[in-house]
Structures are given as C-alpha cells and as structure tokens.
Amino acid sequence: MARTITVVSGPESVGKTTLCLNLARHLAGKGAKVCVVDADTGPSALPALLGITPGFDLRDTVLDGRNLQDIIVEDPAGVLILPGGCGVEEMPVLEASRMNRMIESFFDIVRYDYVLIDTRGGSLKHVFSFCQASPEIIVVMAPKPASLTAAVGFLKDLVEGGFEGEVRIVVNRSRSLGLAKVAFKKFKTSVEKYLRISVTPLG
C-alpha cells in the first residue's frame, strides 16, 4: 500500500509545488516508485515546472470516466505525474469517499511506494477532499506572520471538518535555519493553544 501524503499551503506563494516535486524526485532517486497527483484545479504550476502539456488530465477522469492509467505521464527523473484538471469546479467538492475510490482504483493497476498530492493553495474547499483521503499532510509556509496566520486558519478549518491525520510542517523560503526554527515554534505554540492538535517539523 502506498504512503499517501497531501501537500498544502495558504494562498501566498511559498514554493509548495516545487517542494512537492523535489521531494518526489528525491524519493525516486532512492529507488522508490513515486506518483505525484496534480490536484490543483486552478492554473497549475506543475506542468510548467516539468515542461509538459498533458493530453488528458483528472478532468477527463472525474467528468468523462477515463481510466487514471490512461492519463499518467512520466517526468525525466522517473516520477509519474497524474495531471490535474484546470478550472474544474466539480473536483474540489468531491466527497472524500469518492476521492478515495478514484485513487484506490489507480493503485489496483500500479503499485507505488509514495503518492504525493500537490493541491491548490488557498481556501480549504479546494483541498478538503484530498486531505481527507490522505492519512498525513505536509503544510508548507513561509516564516512571515501572514503565512503563519494563514496556515493556522487552514488547520483550524481542516480540524473542524473532521481531519484526524498526521500534520507535518515545512518552513520554506527562510533566510536561515534559525529563523525557520523560530517561525515553527511560534506556529506550534498557536496551534497547540487554539486547536489542541500536534504538529511535527519536517524541515
């Protein structure tokens, strides 16, 4: 069974997609079979980073019933990419159970060690189903007050929606490791005080 991880962030640009792709390539470089699900239903940065123009995407799976195996592409590093569906409003509101069935149907055909789900930054409604379908999430934020506040708000909405998985934090775009540690400490204090959940620093 693949280890499924959903990568999320607030509305600001914090390097979420770049981090997700680099993590996938790192794992693939160690011999793991990795798939990145491009779950950004807006203008996604992933195809641009990879320099690819997919023939089909998740829109064709959700709306037209196309098999997930038919739309997958492979990047030069050996990471398999499941392209997202830009502008598809039906995708953000999929029930977690339906999202689980869709992803599991793909796993029945190809076995992976890791599945990383790169989501749309911003409001919870665009990523909730993906988070609920994943036992763990990575929250990417910058060491700025606005980014920390957005991340706390996102987790608040997610927890109130019933999420009970593992939460790991990446402080990205920091000028130093010391500043990143200070930012995480402030974030952890706020989360544990107001949300009473545990968060773990990932890097």
**What are the tens digits of pLDDT across the range 71-88?**
778 888 888 887 775 544
Nearest to 59 by CA among 21, 92, 16: 92
pTM for this entry: 0.83
Residue tagged 């060690």 (tokens): 113
Q: What pLDDT, on a 0 to 100 scale, did the predictor assign at position 88? A: 47
Q: Which residues, in sequence order, are bridge partners of residue 169? A: 139, 201
What CA–CA distance (Å, rounded) separates 91 from 58? 9
What CA–CA distance (Å, rounded) separates 36 from 21? 8
In contact, 79 and 34? CB cutoff 8 Å? yes
- 93-152 pLDDT tens trace: 555 555 556 666 555 556 789 989 888 776 666 677 778 878 999 999 999 999 999 899
pLDDT band for position 199 (cuts 50, 70, 90): very high
What CA–CA distance (Å, rounded) separates 172 from 65? 37
Residue 145, both tokens:
């007050």
Exposure string over 166-180, b if 16+ CB within 10 A, otherwise e = ebbbbbbbbeeeeeb
For the chain, give the mean pLDDT.
80
pLDDT band for position 163 (cuts 50, 70, 90): confident
Residue 181 has pLDDT above 70, yes or no: yes
